[in-house]
Structure 1
């Protein structure tokens, strides 16, 4: 009897991670490779903006020439110059650092909070699940942008870290619900029961068998959330509630260029194009990941 149980348990545990390999699906899709390459290039630009800003002109976004205020694209200034005579290309390159940092940092914090709260609620259920679910409902009840406006207006320092913390505080609720639902669907699986029968610790069961089989939906939502956060940061900065000068971000460039579109359209077009391409790439990548991880949508 014991030998039979051990064989069944081992078979269940060995079979737990055996899913269709998403990589086999992703590597055949241009909708994965194109946005992945675009985002990889943008990530390198954000990590080392100085290497790219100097490709044209002096590469310093804070070296300005008031005599060339609003100048159109020219040799040495492929994106033109802004109202202060600063190089728009250098500003767009350096702006990627702040915008992408906020998107990634906000999502990372929200994911960590969601995993902890969602796993505890989904795994144990009962009173703990009820309390954590009500706490999640409270945060989900705050309108995202309105809550961000109220909190950021109450904070004197609006840096990348503080903005990321505020946006993560308001954005983890939906992810926590997704994790809770996934954990609840996995906790009763045969391979989890087999792990309990074999006497494995709760920590090992959760980290080795529950989470690896429950977090796929979270990764998809988190990917898309990066793009949504970048848009939110740009919107808040455009409204004068996000980052402030001398910080450099796409939102600040859009805010300063909004009233000059007729006279100097390049001030708005180039940062808006980078923002649009970034968000579109992130959303496309997220949708492709969702298709690859969902057997019902695989071809």
Structure 2
């Protein structure tokens, strides 16, 4: 019969051998990287966006337009408002890269400065639409009942109204009768009009997202633990319902830039002394055959800006939608 102490020493020596079957796990080798932590939805989206050339092209163009709108003097030293009739409809040259318009104003300067009003109106209208429509969507989706029915029917009325017809009625009634042509007043009126005609789409998007999320397990658990309505909405529902609005908001900025240009072209949107792409196109469309440069360059900047925001929205949609990865 063997000594217990001897058997213990033998088993210890066996465990210390490199080829012992019972050798303990030595762990990861020195210098090895720890396992990567799982990424969140936004982390996965950013990881996919960085590999998408469409995102970088659109983001670069958008940054360029934003800088152009914020600091136009970095791109041109010309006067976008005053001109000389002696240069009326002069074509592009070394002195004026984009030529001159009917009143002898520098088309390049007007195109650069025109980005400010167009982008400001689009951004303000997008923010206002998201706040107003998103708030109504949360209320109708979470509360339901008669409040949901009433607000949904009101949104149906606005949703069924043709956009251009509604804009014509609102701007002709209020903006046309008002003789105050200050830049702030004009921009505010156009922004309010865009918000008033666009909020039903955002409300429906937010409402559908809230209806799908409010029955989720984490919301039911928070409600069972006694969480207040505001905490459930702000901490649980809102973060999980923002993805559709984030996608739509980028596309909406581009749509509002085009809508502002259309209204200004028709003479019911932005007006003098505001400088915008729509105003430049509207003032020059009669001379497109004899002086195409007056219309070509503002149109090119307008189309590029709209396409940039639409491409960014498409890239974000592909990154946030798992079915498209």
Q: Normalization by structure 1: what TM-score?
A: 0.90
Q: 2:247 aligns with which of 192, 195, 220?
A: 220
1:9-49 Cα offsets, whole Å, 9 max, x none, are xxxxxx9x667621011111011111011001100111111
Q: Does 1:32 align with 2:55?
A: yes
Counting only pairs closer than 5 Å after superposition, residues 124-143 of structure 1 correspond to structure 2 as: 124-143=143-162
- Whole-Å separation in 1 of the counterparts to 2:42 and 2:313: 19
Structure 2 stretches lacking a partner, 5+ long: 1-37
RMSD over equivalenced CA pairs, Å: 1.5
Q: How does 1:5-44 map to 2 (within 5 A)?
A: 21-44=44-67
- Of the three residues 113, 118, 122, the one matched with 1:94 is 113
TM-fit CA distance, 1:172: 0.5
Structure showing greater Rg: 2
Distance, in Å, in 2 between the alignment partners of 1:20 and 1:252 is 42
Quote the residue 1:277 is aligned against: 304
Query: If the length of structure 2 is used for normalisation, what is the TM-score?
Result: 0.83
Deviation at 1:129, TM superposition (A): 1.1
Q: What displacement does 1:51 show?
A: 2.2
Cα deviations across residues 245-294 of structure 1 (Å, max 9, x unaligned)? 22110001101111111111110110000000000001111111111111
Asked if residue 148 in structure 1 is aligned to residue 177 in structure 2, the reply is no
Work out which of the residue numbers 165, 170, 185 in structure 1 matches 2:192. 165
SS at match of 2:108: helix
Q: Does 1:236 align with 2:263?
A: yes
State the number of aligned residues. 279
Offset of residue 197 of structure 1: 2.2
CA distance in 2, matches of 1:29, 1:241: 39
Q: Which residue of 1 aligns with 2:294?
A: 267
Give the Cα separation in 1 of the matches to 2:48 and 2:303. 26
Q: CA deviation at 1:210?
A: 0.5
